[in-house]
C-alpha cells in the first residue's frame, strides 16, 4: 500500500500528511546523511533543479556534519528524525523525547518525522510544541526489495499536488533509490507539478 489509511490520517490529524490545495509536491528523504548516497542524491536534485527535505538521524549528522552542511548549502531543508532512529512504539516516552532533543543539537529544524511512522500520542504531545510532525501521503517502498522497481514507478503515476513523498537516504536502498529518483522526478514534472521544500 502506497498511501496511508484514511482513518489513520483522521486519528492523527494534527500531523502533516499532505499539503492541501497545492500544485507542489514535497520530496523527502529519511535517515541520512550518508557518505555512500547523500552526495549522489544531491547531484541528481541539482541537475533537475529540485528542492527536497531531508529528515536526518542525529548520529549521522554528528558523524558527517560536512555532508549535512552540503544539504543545506544546496537549498534543501533539514528535519529531525531522532538521534538513533528509535521506533516510538518500542521506546519509553522519556527516552524518545531525549533522543529528539539530542538530535536537535546537530539538526536545526522545526520539522520532525518519526522513524517507521511510529509515534504514540503520549510521545507526540510535547514534540508538537516545538515541531511540525511530518508524515506522508505517498511512500515509495524503496526500502523493500520484495517490491519491484517497476511497480513503484507505476504507482508513482498516482502522485498528485500536495503529496509528501518518502524516499530513503541509507546504504540499504542505494541502487534502488538512484534508479527511482530520476524517473519519479520526471513523472511529477510531466504532470505539470513543481517541487518544493516543506515548511512548519
**Cell numbers given for 181:** 529518483
- Total-model pTM: 0.96
CA-CA distance, 160 to 185, in Å (whole number)? Answer: 12
- Give the model confidence (pLDDT) of 29-41 as tens digits: 999 999 999 999 9
Assess whether pLDDT exceeds 60 at residue 25: yes
Least confident of 40-44, 56-60, 122-126: 122-126
DSSP secondary structure of the chain: --SPPHHHHHHTTTSB-B-TT-SEEEEEEES---TTTHHHHHHHHHHHT---EEEE-HHHHHH-HHHHHHHHHTT-EEEE--SS---GGGS-HHHHHHHHHHHHTT---SEE--GGG---HHHHHHHHTT-EEB--SEE--TT-TTS-HHHHHHHGGG--TTBEEEEE-SGGGHHHHHHHHHHHHHHHHHTT-EE-----
Give me the pLDDT at residue 2, please: 75
1 has pLDDT over 70:
no
Dihedral of CA 184/188/190/196: which sign? negative
Q: What is the pLDDT of residues 167-190, one digit of tens each?
A: 999 999 999 999 999 999 999 999
pLDDT of residue 84: 97
For residue 94, with 0-12 CB atoms within 10 Å meaning exposed, 13-18 middle and 19 or more buried, which class applies? exposed
Q: Which domains does the chain have, with CATH numbers?
A: 6-195 (3.20.20.370)
Region for residue 164 given its phi and psi (left: phi exceeds 0; alpha: psi -120 to 50; beta: otherwise): beta
What tens digit of pLDDT does each residue of 105-154 get?
999 999 999 999 999 999 999 999 999 999 999 999 999 999 999 999 99
Q: To which residue does cell 517490491 refer?
A: 147
Place 4 in a pLDDT band, splitting at 50, 70 and 90.
confident
Amino acid at each position: 500500500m502506497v498511501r496511508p489509511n484514511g482513518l489513520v490520517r483522521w486519528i492523527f490529524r494534527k500531523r502533516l500528511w499532505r499539503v492541501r490545495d497545492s500544485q507542489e509536491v514535497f520530496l523527502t528523504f529519511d535517515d541520512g546523511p550518508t557518505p555512500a548516497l547523500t552526495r549522489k542524491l544531491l547531484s541528481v536534485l541539482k541537475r533537475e533543479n529540485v528542492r527536497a527535505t531531508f529528515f536526518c538521524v542525529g548520529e549521522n549528522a554528528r558523524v558527517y556534519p560536512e555532508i549535512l552542511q552540503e544539504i543545506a548549502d544546496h537549498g534543501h531543508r533539514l528535519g529531525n528524525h531522532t538521534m538513533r532512529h528509535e521506533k516510538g512504539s518500542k521506546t519509553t516516552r522519556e527516552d524518545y523525547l531525549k533522543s529528539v532533543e539530542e538530535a536537535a543539537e546537530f539538526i536545526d529544524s522545526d520539522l520532525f518525522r518519526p522513524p517507521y511512522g511510529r509515534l504514540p500520542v503520549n510521545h507526540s504531545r510535547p514534540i508538537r510544541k516545538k515541531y511540525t510532525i511530518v508524515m506522508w501521503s505517498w511512500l515509495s517502498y524503496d526500502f523493500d526489495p520484495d517490491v519491484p522497481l517497476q511497480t513503484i514507478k507505476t504507482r508513482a503515476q498516482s502522485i498528485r499536488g500536495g503529496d509528501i513523498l518518502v524516499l530513503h537516504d541509507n546504504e540499504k536502498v542505494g541502487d534502488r533509490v538512484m534508479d527511482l529518483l530520476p524517473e519519479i522526478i520526471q513523472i511529477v514534472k510531466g504532470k505539470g507539478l513543481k517541487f518544493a521544500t516543506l515548511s512548519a
